[in-house]
Amino acid sequence: MIHVENLTKHYGSFRALDSVNFHMDRGEVVGFLGPNGAGKTTTIKILTCNLFPESGTVKVAGFDVATDEIEIQRRIGYLAESAPLYRDMRVREYLKFMGEVRGLSGAGLSDAIDRVARQCGIVKYLPRSIGHLSKGYRQRVGLAQALIHEPEVLILDEPYTGLDPLQIIEIRNLIKDYGREHTVLLSSHILSEVEATCNRVLIIHEGRIVTDESAALLLHQDSVFARVIGPDPEILAHFDHFDKAKLIGSHRLGTADGVEVHLKPEGCTLDELATAVSAACNAHDWSLLYLGPGTVTFEDLFLQFTRKNGVGA
C-alpha cells in the first residue's frame, strides 16, 4: 500500500530525509516515531502529495507520487498536524465539503457524514461552528474528515494531541479497527499510544529510519531487570562493563532504594545472565531486591535508537 524507496529531501542545505526506505501492507497500523524535526511530517507531506520527493520512489496505493497525484489523493485520508480546519464553517458543512470534494454526493454523502460523526463521537456537534469547539473535538472532526470516503490509506499526523485520556481510548480503538482492513500510518510523540495502537513501529531520527520492527518484537526483547541496593556509582560502573550483557537502561532511585538496571544478554542466555547478575551482587555484597524479566518501554527504545550511546541516564 505504501512503498518508499531511497527517499531523500533537502530543505535548502538541511537534509530532512536521507534515503528513507519502508514498506506497508494492507491491514497494518504503523506508528511513526521520532523527535521533533526528525522528518516525520516531511515524509507524511510527501505521501500526501503536499511535497514532491527530491529523489527516490514513493508509491501509495500502487500509484507513484511523481505521476499520479490525484489518484493517490483519492485513496488517502489525511489528518494534518494539529488538525487545521476552516474555523468559520460548521462541522456538518465542513464534512459535506470534504466528502463532496472526494466525490461523495446525495444519500451516500449524508450517510457517510452520519457514519463518521458516530464513529468520532461528534453527532451532537454537527450543527456547531468549528471555531467554537475545544481542541479535542476539533481533532475528532479532523479525523472524521479523513475517514469520510473510507480511504484505503489513512495518514494521521499526531492524531492524539489535545485529546483527554478517555478520548484517546475511543480514537485508539477506532484507528485499530480501521487498520484491520486498511492501512494506517500515524505519527506521534506519545509513545504509549503508539504502543497501544500500532502493530509495527518506524523510528526516524535525523532523516533516517533507525528501526523498523513489529511492536511486539520491539517490546519483548529478552532482557533482565534488576534492582540492586548498594553504592550507586560502583553498581552502575560494574554493569556498564558487564561482560555478559549490554546495559540498555538504568535509573538511580536514591541510596536507600538502590539502582535499577536493565540488561540485554550478549552471547549468553537469559538464565545465564540472571545467574551472573545474582552472583555479581553476592560477590560485591550488594543486596539484590528484585531480579526478573525486563520489559522494554517505548521510552527506552526511543532513547536506545535516537541517542548515540544506548545508555539512559
Q: How far is the CB of 2 from another protein (least distance, A)?
A: 14
- Considering only 80, 91, 202, 296, the residue that binds another protein (CB under 8 A) is 80
43's grid cell: 515524509
Residue 288 vs residues 12, 42, 225, 274, 284: alpha-carbon distances, Å = 54, 47, 11, 11, 11
- Considering only 27, 37, 103, 292, the residue that binds another protein (CB under 8 A) is 103
60's grid cell: 501509495
Give the containing element (helix H, strand E) for 45: helix 40-47
Q: Is 289 in the site for another protein (CB under 8 A)?
A: no
In this complex, which beta carbon is closest to another protein, that of residue 106 or of residue 165?
Answer: 106
Question: Where are the extended beta strands (E) located within the chain?
Answer: 2-11, 14-24, 29-33, 55-60, 63-64, 76-79, 153-157, 183-188, 200-205, 208-214, 224-229, 245-254, 258-265, 287-293
Question: Rounded CA gap, 210 and 24, in Å?
Answer: 16
Distance of CA 38 to the CA centre of its chain: 13
Q: How far is the CB of 84 from another protein (least distance, A)?
A: 3
Q: Name the residue with cell 464534512.
A: 95
- Considering only 105, 173, 192, 287, the residue that binds another protein (CB under 8 A) is 105
Question: Rounded CA gap, 86 and 131, in Å?
Answer: 8
CB 226 within 8 A of CB 291: yes
Q: How far is the CB of 58 from another protein (least distance, A)?
A: 13
Q: Is 290 in the site for another protein (CB under 8 A)?
A: no
Sign of the Cα torsion 120, 121, 124, 128 reads negative
Q: Is 85 in the site for another protein (CB under 8 A)?
A: yes
Q: Name the residue with cell 527516490.
A: 56
Q: Is 231 in the site for another protein (CB under 8 A)?
A: no
- Considering only 23, 87, 251, 307, the residue that binds another protein (CB under 8 A) is 87
In this complex, which beta carbon is closest to another protein, that of residue 9 or of residue 205?
Answer: 9
Query: 42-71 mask for another protein (x: CB under 8 A)?
Result: ---x--xxxxx----------------xxx
Q: Which of residues 136-165 bind another protein (CB under 8 A)?
A: 145, 149-150, 152
Q: Is 26 in the site for another protein (CB under 8 A)?
A: no
Residues engaged in binding another protein (CB under 8 A): 11, 45, 48-52, 69-71, 73-74, 76, 78, 80-82, 84-89, 93, 97-98, 100-112, 114, 145, 149-150, 152
